[in-house]
Every structure is written in C-alpha cells, then in structure tokens.
Amino acid sequence: MKINGSVAMATLLGMPARAATSGSFNVLSMNVAGLPAILNDNSVPGDKTTNSALIGSKFAQLGYDLIHTQEDFNYHASIYASDNHPYRTATSGGVPFGSGLNVLANYDWIDFARVKWDTCSDASGSDCLTPKGFTFMRLKLSDGVYVDAYNLHTDAGTESGDLKARAANLLQVASYINTWSTGNAVIVFGDTNSRYTRVDDVVPAFRTQTGLTDAQVELILGGVSPTVEVLCSNPSTTDNCETVDKIFYRGSPLLSLKATYWAYASSKFLQADGNVLSDHNPVTANFTWAAGASLRQSSFSGGPEGTWFSDVTALSAKKAPKASVLTFRGGSRLDSVAIKLSDGTTFTHGGTGGTAATLTLASGESWVSAQLCQGQKSGNTRNFYIKATTSTGRTLQAGTTTSDCATFTAPTGWAIVGFLGQDGDEMDQLAFVYAPQ
C-alpha cells in the first residue's frame, strides 16, 4: 500500500491531512481449496487445516493490500488465525451454508454485499450445494477515493449445463456492475472457471458489457486474448499460460486506474517440502491510481439503502460544468437534492416530500462546501440534513440536524457540480461530485 506522501507527513507534523490524490496498491486472488477433505482433497498433499494456517501466515507475511479468496469454507478459521490484515469479511459459513468468498484488506470499505447466483448447475459437480455467487464492496483508498471490488466464483465444469450456468453467472455480474457501479472504477478478480478458448464461457462478452480490461491479457499477452489453450502447471513456471483465475479492471472519470504488474504468485505459496497449498495458482497484480483530472468526489454520508445513482457519466461529457441553481427538499429528514447547471442540465435525486428551498447562484459564485447530518430511520442510516455554502458565504439548508454531521469541502479551485449515492423516497446515501471552476 502506497499513497502520496503529503498524508503521512501531515500526520507526523500534527497538521490536518489532505486526501491523497495518487497512490498504488496490489491484489491477490486465491482459491484456497477449503472444501471439506471428505468431499474434495483437491489432490493437494498434506492436512487441510495445516495448509490453511500456512496460507494465512503467508497472507500476513506478504501483506497484499486486497486479497480475494474462494472456496474458503471449512478451514476459514485457520486462515484468519494466522493472518493480520486489519479489515476482513466475516465468513458466511462452511459447506453447505456459505459461499466460500471472503476478503482480506489493508483498506476499509463500505456497502458490502453477498449475491447468490441466479443460475447453477450440478451437471458435472455439486455447484448447487452451496450458495456460490459474488461479493461487492466499495473499497476506500483515500478520502473521497473509491474503487468497486468484486470477488466471484462461477459454476465449474464443461458439460452443457455448466457452460450455460457459468455464462449466466458472468452476465449476472455484468448486469450488477452496470447497475451498481455506474461511473465508478471497478476491479473484478476471482475464480471465473472460464477460459478464452471456450467460446461458451462468454469472457469477451463480459468484458465488452462492462468495459473491463484483463490485466494478464494487457500486460503479459500483448493485448491479445488467447486463441489456443495453453494450460499452466502448478506451481506455474510461466505467466504466458491461462488459468481460470483472472483479474479485470477499469478506471473512471473520478479515478484513473492502471495495471502495472501481473503474475502467478505460485512460488510464494508452497509448503516447506515444495508442494503446493492449493490446486489453483494464485494470481496477483499491481495498480497505480490517480484522482480524476476533471471530476472528483467526496466521501459518503448515510447508508447503503435505496437505488444507486451517479451524475458522473453525464458530467464527464461536459466541459467545465458549473452550478447555477440549488434546490433541496426536507422536513424531518432530507427528502431530495437537485442541482441545475449553467447549460440547463438538472440532476435531481430522492423523493417529493418535505418543503423545497432554492438558491440561485450569482455570476462567478460557486457551491464550495456542504454539511450533511445522518441518523437512523426504521433501522437504516439516512441523511437527515444538508447545508450548502457558496464561495460568497451564502447558504441553503433543508431537513433536520442530528449529532452526527460532517462537512465536505471541494478542493481549492473546484466546486460541487453533482451527486452520487443511493436514494428512494429520501436520501439514503449521498456524496458530492467536484469539478474545476
């Protein structure tokens, strides 16, 4: 994990830290072969409990910033007992209760979700035995810097039913990305059970629908997807072969994302006698990131209920967007927010309740900061209050204040021009989009 040095230096000097605007991180995907030995020994020598503990200790030793595990079923406790990552998902259970998907990270996240496959097949195995699927989280790299991270384990096998189920799995993830990650940077890595040389696995279609790049294809294979099957040994002695474990990514107008390294990490996950710890080669990649040059965002306030919305895609098509009119609706809570740009475009989110309040900005005036207060409603966290402050000190407010408030200020020379978050009848979750002025 590496971020721009101003954050660390400010901390040492006791000064308020500015959000990092660039940095790097690395990822690892590993199917940890955690099915009960009586069901599948994975043809891996040694005791599974011992091997799992060794996997966890290597996670700790190598310190990858974001680790996705698959088949993390009945030996999960042994992995976590020897690992030291500060952020880790709670297990969803062993066979047949859990999905086997977990995440270990050096970064915190918001909005974690587990999603079960709509389609499964037992044509050549027992894929329907457990609630396999994918996980989603919004990983926080720095203040106002997020990347949506997906971990998946698709249906296995090559029978007709398996191929159809796996294709449906990948298209289900693509649909989720296109709904819940609109406007965001995305990384997807895990056990796809897919190969480019099996046409029915629809990997190219998955990439096309989501705008994702395969890091191995980009960095190792010269940008050309495999057309001839080249199988890997385990441990692999080359990066020029294909396994079903893959790493995909894309940037966004908010976050430039670039893969700089990809490799099989097989040699780092061996037993003392040189035997493997899993029947899968672990895969790893390094990424560099930079906050957007024309659009950035604040951190979020509120909770992950309602429907995802983002003004980012529409704003990215505009040159130097500027706010002209602000309109908020509120009563007991914050019902809606709206902003009209100088070109006439209007973004409105939330419901129609509450009382409306409007502020028309003067020429040269911009919206530079906002205060949001959140609270609990029906067991969920929502935004209760908003107060906008302009570059001339004028304010607009709506809703009811609480004791849990935060202020979001645009970077110097930037202003608020849009929103992203989740809404329904009210504003469940809200963040602000900044643009240079």
Where residue 7 falls among pLDDT bands split at 50, 70, 90? Answer: very low
pLDDT over 70 at 9, yes or no: no
Residue 15 in any domain: the answer is no
Distance between CA atoms of residues 365 and 392, nearest Å: 6
Q: What pLDDT, on the 0 to 100 scale, is given for residue 125? A: 83
How far is residue 311's CA from residue 313's CA, in Å, rounded to a whole number? 6
Does the pTM surpass 0.85? The reply is yes
Q: How many domains does the chain have?
A: 2
Residue 283 lies in a domain: yes
The tens digit of pLDDT for each residue in 366-423 reads 999 999 999 999 999 999 999 999 999 999 999 999 999 999 999 999 999 999 999 9
Burial class (CB in 10 A: 0-12, 13-18, 19+), 5: exposed
What integer best gives the mean pLDDT of the chain?
94
Residue 98 sits in a domain whose CATH number is 3.60.10.10
Whether 281 and 317 share a structural domain: no
Residue range(s) defining the domain that contains residue 26: 22-291
Is 186:212 a contact under the CB 8 Å cutoff? yes
pLDDT per residue as tens digits for the range 36-65: 888 878 889 899 999 999 999 999 999 999
pLDDT on residue 5 = 38
* Domain final position from 246, 266, 291: 291
Are 214 and 246 in contact, with CB atoms under 8 Å apart?
Answer: yes
Domain-located, residue 3: no
Tens-place pLDDT, residues 63-77: 999 999 999 999 999
pLDDT band at 15 (very low <50, low <70, confident <90, very high): very low
- 322-357 confidence digits (pLDDT tens): 999 999 999 999 999 999 999 999 999 999 999 999
Task: Band the pLDDT of 222: cuts 50, 70, 90.
Answer: very high
pLDDT at 42: 80
6 has a pLDDT exceeding 50: no
Same domain, 128 and 227: yes
Asked whether residue 208 falls in the same domain as residue 325, the answer is no
User: Tell me, what's the pLDDT at 310?
Assistant: 98
- Same domain for 111 and 154: yes
Q: Where in 127-229 does DSSP place strands (E)?
A: 133-142, 145-152, 186-191, 213-214
Q: How far apart are CA 194 and CA 37, in angstroms?
A: 24
Task: Pick the last residue of a domain from 271, 291, 311.
Answer: 291
Say yes or no: 285 and 315 in one domain: no
Q: Is the pLDDT of residue 12 over 50?
A: no
Four-residue CA torsion sign, 25, 204, 98, 158 = negative
Asked which of 257, 291, 325 is the last residue of a domain, the reply is 291
Residue spans of beta strands (DSSP E) within 265-366 = 283-291, 296-297, 301-302, 307-310, 323-330, 334-341, 346-350, 355-360
What local confidence, expressed as pLDDT, does residue 126 receive?
86
In this predicted structure, what is the pLDDT of residue 199?
84
For residue 313, give the nearest of 163, 164, 428, 183 by alpha carbon.
Answer: 183
**Cα dihedral value 269, 271, 277, 281, nearest 10:** 40
